[in-house]
Amino acid sequence: MKNIIILIPVLCLTSCHINDARPENHRADVRVIGEEVCITLPDTKKENLSLISINEINNAHTVFEKKFTTENSPNIYPNQCLSNYGFRFQPGKKYTYSVDATQVTEGGAIKNGNSYSVTFSFLVDKGKLMVKDLN
């Protein structure tokens, strides 16, 4: 009887993710190419951009968001740099870059894709631009 009493709460706590409709969150990758920050998404599966959000950590005033409609959402390709849409990263600051994606099914229905994010610091070291992944 003791085992059943212990087992029931454990099952309730561990089964929370069954039928969870929220998209999975995956790590994005960050690096510097030339003078630009390059964010890439590994393992994308025929997804389109729904939202890009860039937030400076500890500064609520530096937030950039770009939303896309179904008609104008760009395709996402694995390991291809995403556009920063004119956002300028400042050396010495930390950022979180997040992406929400959608998927179009074979029947034409639109469903949530995955979410991707990376937190990083942008710095200059010996005159060279660098990023440090903080995830």
And the tokens for 38?
């390059």
Q: Residue 15 corresponds to which amino acid?
A: S
Query: Is residue 9 in some structural domain?
Result: no
**3-state SS, residue 135:** coil
Using the predicted structure, report yes or no on whether residue 22 has a pLDDT greater than 80. Answer: no
Using the predicted structure, report yes or no on whether residue 54 has a pLDDT greater than 60. Answer: yes
- Reported as a pLDDT band with limits 50, 70 and 90, residue 112 is confident
Query: Is residue 14 in some structural domain?
Result: no
Query: Is residue 16 in some structural domain?
Result: no
pLDDT at 1: 53
Please tell me the pTM assigned to this model.
0.80
- Reported as a pLDDT band with limits 50, 70 and 90, residue 21 is low
Distance CA 33, CA 73 (A): 24
Query: Is residue 73 in some structural domain?
Result: yes
Average pLDDT, the chain: 85
Using the predicted structure, report yes or no on whether residue 8 has a pLDDT greater than 60. Answer: no
CATH at residue 67: 2.60.40
pLDDT at 30: 97
Distance CA 101, CA 112 (A): 7
Query: Is residue 17 in some structural domain?
Result: no
Cβ atoms < 10 Å from Cβ of 55: 18
Domain that holds residue 32: 22-133
DSSP letter string, 36-103: EEEEE-TT--SEEEEEEEEEETT-TT-EEEEE--TTTPPEE-TT-PPP-TT----TTEEEEEEEEEEE
Number of domains in the chain: 1
Query: Is residue 15 in some structural domain?
Result: no
- Reported as a pLDDT band with limits 50, 70 and 90, residue 113 is confident
Query: Is residue 6 in some structural domain?
Result: no
Query: Is residue 10 in some structural domain?
Result: no
- The mean pLDDT of 96-122, rounded to a whole number, is 89
